[in-house]
Amino acid sequence: MGDSGGAGRCTGKGDSSTGTGMGSSTGMGGGAISTGINLVLEPGDRVTHERFGEGEVISVEGESPNTTALVNFKSSGTRKLLLRFAKLKRI
């Protein structure tokens, strides 16, 4: 039968909700970055996530399939998400 091990869920590993020590700010300086799933995000965009609710994109880094976004969610703080799994919707 199918594998239902939960791999690929975007739940935020460890206590990374503060946003400190999360790598370089490479994605802060430039334009939009395509996530490879027909969604283009850039800092300042408002998004919604099934589990974390509404938030604002702080930065976008990397290239597909490893593009990540640092998002400040109203209800759960700042999270670094791997976009190929995050299922964010732009609002």
pLDDT on residue 64: 87
Examine residue 65 and say whether the peptide bond preceding it is cis (omega within 30 degrees of 0): yes
Give how many domains the chain has, as a whole number: 1
Q: Classify residue 62: in a domain, yes or no.
A: yes
Given this model, what pLDDT does residue 39 score? 78
Asked whether residue 4 carries a pLDDT value surpassing 70, the answer given is no
pLDDT band of 16, cuts 50, 70, 90? very low
Beta carbons within 8 Å of 82's beta carbon, 6+ residues apart: 10, 66, 67, 68
Residue-level pLDDT at 37 = 59
Express each pLDDT in 29-80 by its tens digit.
455 655 545 678 999 999 999 999 999 999 999 998 999 999 999 999 999 9
pLDDT at 43: 97
Assigned domain for 83 exists: yes
User: Is the residue at 60 inside a domain?
Assistant: yes
CB-based contact 90:66 (threshold 8 Å): no
CATH number at residue 55: 2.40.10.170
Task: Please calculate the CA angle 7-11-13 and round it to the nearest 5 degrees.
Answer: 90
Domain of 57? 32-90
Inside any domain, residue 11: no
In a domain, 80, yes or no: yes
Above 70 in pLDDT, residue 21?
no
6 within some domain: no
**16 falls within a domain:** no
Q: Is the separation of the CB atoms in 53 and 63 below 8 Å?
A: no
Longest dimension (CA), the chain: 46
In a domain, 3, yes or no: no
The reported pLDDT for the residue numbered 40 is: 87
